[in-house]
Every structure is written in structure tokens, then in C-alpha cells.
């Protein structure tokens, strides 16, 4: 029998290392979906403790920029590490015949990983004499995170891979250079705070990257593209992963052909894939945004990717909740704007 995880305990999360405000924003958005009242404590730019009623696995499964996380066991100053680790009641979190491993993430410059791993390993064995170590196939991983002069210890049983590599755009039946990478597309879907079973619309869906990531987290999806070739390609790409959209509509999104979506996430056309109506990107963005409020309800979100050089004039129907930047290459920095419907 697995030891049940109490949902009310504090959780910890370690973010991946990219330099963007998008990473923290994704974690906050995900936590907000499952517990609006959760409280955050920042330990380091990449390390957060969250006190809330949700299962850490739910967040880990969806997250794009979350490397690991789980239940918080303790956190302390480095000088107190032996005493703190030795006082953890590991037997409350692991069964008597647990197969476990210890894994340490060292965000400091001090060479302490091995020492912490050894202390964790012996502390677990002292508390649970029949526990066995397996680096290949552990059922629980005790995690240590060293940052500055701080040590955090947690436990997780979430190990599944996200499959970014296996979903690389070039491995899909239909490819176009305007495609978004799956990790980024997943991050955008999460910023929209869409829940499993709700409808997410991408009105400029191209090859379907956003539709794919939204479908994988269990949202229902609708895509629109003015190009028939893109619509067919997006459907082929979805089918490649055994997924299906509610619909992929060949239409002009400057006159949105649908009445309702719980969330909208899109990467507007610019450069080589500009609008069919020959509008400048700035005008297209403004025109599109002005009608988004007719589709997405009050209090819900619309996430728009656009070049940083093209700013969105403050629209009346929305509050700009967040603004992020993602460097792509010397000529393109993407802006990600999260709008909340008024
Ligand atoms: C930047 S690409 C989207 C790429 C997509 N996110 C992906 O990962 O493949 C923009 C798309 O908008 C489409 N588009 C341009 N003008 C449009 C319009 N007025 N209505 C609907 N789609 C349009 C283009 O055909 C293009 O596929």
C-alpha cells in the first residue's frame, strides 16, 4: 500500500533555469487554478515553497518550466543540515520496504552535493531499515536543493518525462517554420489558467502546437486558421499524437466565427506569415484583441504572443495581468501578454 500524501502540507517546486519571468508566472498560474488561496514563499529565483490544498503531481504533470517538486519535508540553514535531515520522520512518507534514491540539486557554488546525498541516504536507512536504494527505478525520490546558504529537503514520487524531445516540430507530419516549440506552447497554455475539460481557442493555430499541448493536459480545443493548408496540417499533427480538436476551422479570425471559449491562447501572425488581409501586425493585433472579449468570459484569460517591438495599446475590455519577454534570436524577442477579461 502506498502512503497517502496529505494535500494540505507545504509543497516545494524547483523551476528550470531559463532567464524569463515566464517561469515563475507559470507556477503561480498553475497553483491559482487548483487553489486560489495558496501562499508562496520564495527561497531562491528557482525555488518556491507553496502552502495550499492541491496535489503537487497535478502541477508537475502540467508544468513546462518546473523541473521537480513534491512535499516539503524541511528547510534550514546549511550549518543545521545534519540535525535537520536526521530529525525528518521519513517513515511517515515512505512504506517500510520503499525503494528510494536521493537526488541533490546544487544551485550554489559550493561542492556539497555528495555530502548532502550521503546524509540523506543514511538518515532514511536509519529510520526505515528495510528501505533499498535504486538509482534506476526508485518509487520515491528524496530531493535536496542547495541554494546560497539554504537547504531544502522534499520527497516526490513524480518521475514521468514530459516528452518535449519526442514532440519536436520536425518529427511531426506537418511542419512550418513559424511553429512554436512544445515547451513554450505548454507554458502559454498554463498561463491561460485553462482547466481540464474546458474549451481553449487558438484563433491563429498554424501547425497546431498550442492545440497539441492544450489537448495533452485534457482541455477541449478549437483552432482557426485562414490557410486551409495549415488547418489540414494542424489536424494531421494532432492525429499523430492520437489527439483530436473539437474543430479546426478554416476562417478569418478578425471576424471570429465562434461565440465562446473558456480561454484563448495564440501566437499572432507576423513576418513571413502575415495576415491574409494585408494588415500591419500592429493593426491586426489591435483589431483581433478588440473582439476577443466577446468570446472569452469575464475574469478569464487571453494569452497573446507577439513581437516585443509591437506593443498592445491598453484595451478597454481587459486588464493587462502580466507581461513577459522571451529571447528567441538577435532579431526576435517575443512578448507574451496575459489579458484578463473585464
Ligand atoms: C505565427 S503563425 C502560428 C504558428 C502556430 N502557433 C504554430 O505553432 O504552428 C500565425 C498563423 O496565423 C494564420 N493567419 C494569418 N492571418 C489570419 C487570419 N486573419 N485569420 C486566421 N488565421 C490567420 C497564418 O496562416 C499562420 O498559420
Ligand 1 closest atom vs CA 176: 9
Does the pLDDT value for residue 5 go beyond 70?
no
Shared-domain flag, residues 177 and 86? no
Domain boundary among 112, 130, 156: 156
Shared-domain flag, residues 94 and 199? no
pLDDT score at 274: 54
Shared-domain flag, residues 110 and 130? yes
Shared-domain flag, residues 78 and 211? no
Measuring CA to CA, how many Å separate 45 from each of 20, 185, 304? 10, 22, 25
Shared-domain flag, residues 207 and 337? yes
Residue 97 CB: number of other CB atoms within 10 A? Answer: 10
Residue count of the chain: 342
Contact between 130 and 97 (Cβ < 8 Å): yes
For 104-130, what is the mean pLDDT?
Answer: 95
Shared-domain flag, residues 120 and 184? no
Residue 139's CATH number: 3.30.2130.30
Q: Tell me the CA end-to-end span of the chain in Å, nearest whole number.
A: 48
Shared-domain flag, residues 120 and 217? no
- Name residue, grid cell 501547425: 207
Cα distance between residue 222 and residue 249, in whole Å = 8
Cα distance between residue 155 and residue 72, in whole Å = 7
Residue-wise pLDDT tens digits, 175-187: 999 999 999 999 9
For 148-158, what is the mean pLDDT?
Answer: 93
Q: Which domain holds residue 252?
A: 165-341
Shared-domain flag, residues 126 and 177? no
Domain boundary among 108, 127, 156: 156
Q: How many domains does the chain have?
A: 2
Shared-domain flag, residues 188 and 148? no
Is 5 a member of any domain?
Answer: no
Which residue's C-alpha comes closest to atom 10 of ligand 1? 269
Domain boundary among 98, 124, 156: 156
Cα distance between residue 296 and residue 135, in whole Å = 47
Q: What is the best residue among 172, 192, 206, 245 to mutate for testing ligand 1's pocket, by most ligand atoms within 8 Å of CB?
A: 206
Is 80 a member of any domain?
Answer: yes
Contact between 100 and 138 (Cβ < 8 Å): yes
Contacts for 99 with CB less than 8 Å, ≥ 6 apart: 131, 132, 133, 134, 137, 138, 139, 140
Shared-domain flag, residues 214 and 328? yes
- Using a pLDDT cut of 70, give the percent of the chain over it: 95
Residue-wise pLDDT tens digits, 188-238: 999 999 999 999 999 999 999 999 999 999 999 999 999 999 999 999 999
Contact between 99 and 65 (Cβ < 8 Å): no
Which residue's C-alpha comes closest to atom 16 of ligand 1? 275
Ligand 1 midpoint to CA 285 (Å) = 12
Shared-domain flag, residues 147 and 65? yes
pTM for the predicted model, two decimal places: 0.94
Burial category of 195 from C-beta neighbours within 10 Å (exposed 0-12, middle 13-18, buried 19 and up): middle
Cα distance between residue 309 and residue 101, in whole Å = 47
Residue-wise pLDDT tens digits, 31-78: 999 999 999 999 999 999 999 999 999 999 999 999 999 999 999 999
pLDDT score at 1: 47
Shared-domain flag, residues 36 and 126? yes
What is the overall mean pLDDT for the chain? 92
Which residue's C-alpha comes closest to atom 8 of ligand 1? 179
**Ligand 1 surroundings by CB, under 6 angstroms:** 176, 178-180, 204, 206-207, 209-210, 224-227, 230, 252-254, 267, 269, 273, 275-276
Cα distance between residue 201 and residue 245, in whole Å = 10
pLDDT score at 267: 96
| Beta strands per DSSP E along 45-165 | 47-51, 66-77, 99-106, 132-133, 140-147, 150-156
Cell of 107: 544551485
Residue-wise pLDDT tens digits, 237-258: 999 999 999 999 999 999 999 9
Residue 198's CATH number: 3.40.50.150
Amino acid at each position: 500500500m502506498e502512503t497517502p500524501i496529505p494535500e494540505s502540507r507545504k509543497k516545494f517546486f524547483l523551476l528550470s533555469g531559463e532567464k524569463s519571468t515566464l517561469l515563475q508566472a507559470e507556477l503561480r498560474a498553475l497553483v491559482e487554478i487548483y487553489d486560489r488561496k495558496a501562499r508562496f514563499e520564495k527561497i531562491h529565483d528557482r525555488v518556491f515553497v507553496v502552502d495550499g490544498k492541491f496535489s503537487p503531481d497535478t502541477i508537475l504533470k502540467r508544468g513546462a518550466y518546473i523541473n521537480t517538486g513534491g512535499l516539503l519535508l524541511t528547510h534550514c540553514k546549511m550549518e543545521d543540515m545534519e540535525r535537520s535531515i536526521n530529525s525528518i520522520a521519513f517513515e511517515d512518507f515512505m512504506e517500510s520496504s520503499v525503494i528510494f534514491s536521493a537526488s541533490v540539486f546544487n544551485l550554489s557554488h559550493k561542492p556539497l552535493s555528495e555530502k548532502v546525498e550521503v546524509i540523506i541516504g543514511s538518515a532514511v536507512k536509519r529510520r526505515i531499515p528495510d528501505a533499498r536504494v535504486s538509482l534506476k527505478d526508485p518509487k520515491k525520490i528524496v530531493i535536496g536543493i542547495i541554494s546560497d546558504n539554504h537547504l531544502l529537503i522534499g520527497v516526490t514520487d513524480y518521475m514521468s518525462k514530459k516528452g518535449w524531445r519526442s514532440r519536436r516540430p520536425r518529427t511531426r507530419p506537418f511542419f512550418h517554420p513559424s511553429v512554436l516549440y512544445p515547451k513554450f506552447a505548454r507554458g502559454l497554455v498554463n498561463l491561460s489558467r485553462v482547466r481540464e475539460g474546458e474549451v481553449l481557442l487558438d484563433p491563429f493555430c498554424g501547425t497546431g502546437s498550442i492545440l497539441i499541448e492544450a489537448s495533452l493536459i485534457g482541455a477541449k480545443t478549437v483552432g482557426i486558421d485562414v490557410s486551409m493548408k495549415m488547418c489540414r496540417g494542424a489536424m494531421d499533427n494532432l492525429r499523430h499524437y492520437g489527439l483530436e480538436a473539437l474543430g479546426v476551422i478554416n476562417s478569418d479570425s478578425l471576424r471570429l466565427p465562434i461565440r465562446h471559449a473558456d480561454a484563448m491562447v495564440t501566437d499572432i501572425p507576423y513576418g513571413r506569415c502575415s495576415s491574409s488581409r494585408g494588415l500591419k501586425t500592429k493593426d491586426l493585433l489591435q483589431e483581433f484583441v478588440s473582439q476577443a472579449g466577446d468570446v472569452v468570459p469575464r475574469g478569464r484569460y487571453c494569452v497573446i504572443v507577439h513581437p516585443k517591438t509591437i506593443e498592445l495599446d491598453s484595451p478597454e475590455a481587459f486588464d493587462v495581468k502580466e507581461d513577459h519577454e522571451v529571447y528567441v534570436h538577435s532579431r526576435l524577442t517575443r512578448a507574451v501578454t496575459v489579458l484578463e477579461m473585464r
